[in-house]
Structure 1
Amino acid sequence: MKRWKKLCATLALMLLSACASHSNITDYANEKPTLDLQHYFNGTLDAWGMFQDRSGKVVKRFTVVMRCKWEGDVGTLDEDFTYSDGSKQKRIWTLRKVAANRYIGTAPDVVGEAIGITAGNTLHWNYVLSLPVDGKVYEVNFDDWMYQMDDRVMLNRAAMSKFGFALGQVTLSFTKRP
C-alpha cells in the first residue's frame, strides 16, 4: 500500500508540473525590442537547433534556412531543415495576423491551428505537430516561446509533451540575414 501511495504521489507531481505554465506572455510586455512578426520574419533567416530528450541528452541537431515574406496580414515561412544525420525536411507555415498581437499559423504537419500571441519581445505559440519517428507518426504538443534579442537574433525554446508528459525540448537560435 505504501508503494502504491508513493507511485500516486509521484504521478500527481508529474501531472502538476506538466500543467504548470512556466510564464505568462504578459510578463514580457515591456521587454525590448518590441517584436513585430511581419518585420522580423521577412527575408531570409538562418537557424541552428537541437532536440533534447527528457533526460537532457541531445539526440538530434539541425540547421534551418527560412525564406519569409508577407502580403498584408498573411505571411509565408518556407523552412528547409537539414538534420545531423543528413536527412532533410521542409515545412511551409502560413501565418495570419487576426488581431493586435494575435496570430494563427498553419502548416501541413500542424494538426489544426497554431495559436500565437506576442507581447514585448516575445511570441508564445501553442500547437500540435505530427512528428514522424521510426516509421510511425505521433501527434505532439508544442509549448513554443520565441524571444527577440536584437534586430537580427531570436532565441526559441519549445517544450514537447504527449498526454501531459514531457518528451523533451527543442532549442533554436535564429539569425536574420542583413
Structure 2
Amino acid sequence: MTPRLLKPGRLLLACLALASALTLGGCASQQMESYANEKPVLDLQQYFNGTLDAYGVFTDRSGTVVKRFSVVMVCSWQGNEGTLDEDFTYSDGSKQKRVWHLTRLADGRFTGRADDVVGQAQGESRGNALHWNYTLSLPVDGKVYEVQFDDWMYLMGERVMLNKATMSKFGVRLGEVTLSFYKR
C-alpha cells in the first residue's frame, strides 16, 4: 500500500488546523471562582503590609533557570491605596527597583501601576488566590521589550505566599517566574 501524500494546499490547511487546535487547547486557563472557598483567605491589604522577603527564579521555555533573585518589599496602605516598594538583587549582582501603586476596587478587584508597567495591571482576588495581568517593559541586552505577564499568587499560610507568572510575547510563552514570599 502506497502512502497518500497531501497536495501542498491541503498540507497547509492540515497544518493550520493542527496549529489552531494546539493554540485553542493552550488557551484554557485557571478560573478565579475555583479558588473562592480556599483557605486561608488572602487579604491583600493585610498580607502586603510591612516588610516581606521574596526569592525567585526566571526559567526559559525549556525550564532552564536563567536568573535567580531576591527581593525585599516594604509595603503600606492608606485606605484603598497601597504601595509595594520592591528592591531586587539578582544572582549576577545587578539591582533593580520597582514601586507598585495599587488601588483596591469592589468585588476583590485591584489595579496597579509601576514605572515599567505599560498601562495598568488588572487583578482579582478570590479565596487564597490573586490573579494579575499586565504588560511589562523589560530591558534585555540594551533593548526594551513589552512582554505580557499572567501572574498567579497563592497564600499558603499566614506568612508564606507562592507566585507563578507566565511571560509571553505575541501569545508565545517565553518563560516563567517562580517566587516565594515570606512576611517578616
**Which TM-score tier does this pair reach, normalised by the shorter chain?**
over 0.9
Matched-pair identity in %? 65
Give the distance between the partners of 2:78 and 2:31, measured in 1 at CA.
Answer: 30
Runs of 4+ in 1 over 2 A off after TM superposition: 1-20
SS class of match (2:154): strand
| From 34, 53, 70, the counterpart of 1:46 | 53
| From 62, 74, 85, the counterpart of 2:81 | 74
Give the distance between the partners of 1:145 and 1:19, measured in 2 at CA.
Answer: 16
Amino acid aligned to 1:129: L
Deviations 1:66-123 (A, max 9, x none): 0000000000000000011111000000000011301000000000000010000000
Aligned residue in 2 for 1:104: 111
Aligned residue in 2 for 1:20: 28
SS class of match (1:30): coil
User: Offset of 1:171 from its aligned partner?
Assistant: 0.2
Matches within 5 A, 1:51-130: 51-130=58-137
Give the distance between the partners of 1:115 and 1:58, measured in 2 at CA.
Answer: 28
| From 119, 144, 169, the counterpart of 2:176 | 169
Amino acid aligned to 1:121: N
Give the distance between the partners of 1:39 and 1:26, measured in 2 at CA.
Answer: 21
Amino acid aligned to 2:16: C
User: Offset of 1:12 from its aligned partner?
Assistant: 2.4
- Structure 2 unaligned spans of 5+: 1-7
User: Offset of 1:125 from its aligned partner?
Assistant: 0.3
Q: 1:154 to 1:55 in 2, by over 3 A?
A: same
CA contact (8 A) 1:78 1:90 kept: yes
Deviations 1:129-150 (A, max 9, x none): 0000011101101000000000
Q: Structure 1 residue 133 and structure 2 residue 140: aligned?
A: yes
SS class of match (2:105): strand
Aligned residue in 1 for 2:19: 11
Amino acid aligned to 1:116: G
Give the distance between the partners of 1:18 and 1:132, measured in 2 at CA.
Answer: 27
CA contact (8 A) 1:129 1:139 kept: yes
- CA-based RMSD of the aligned residues comes to 1.4
Deviations 1:132-175 (A, max 9, x none): 00111011010000000001000000011111110011000000
Give the distance between the partners of 2:72 and 2:18, measured in 1 at CA.
Answer: 42
What is the total number of aligned residue pairs between the two structures? 176
Larger radius of gyration: 2
Give the distance between the partners of 2:22 and 2:171, measured in 1 at CA.
Answer: 9
Q: 1:88 to 1:6 in 2, by over 3 A?
A: farther
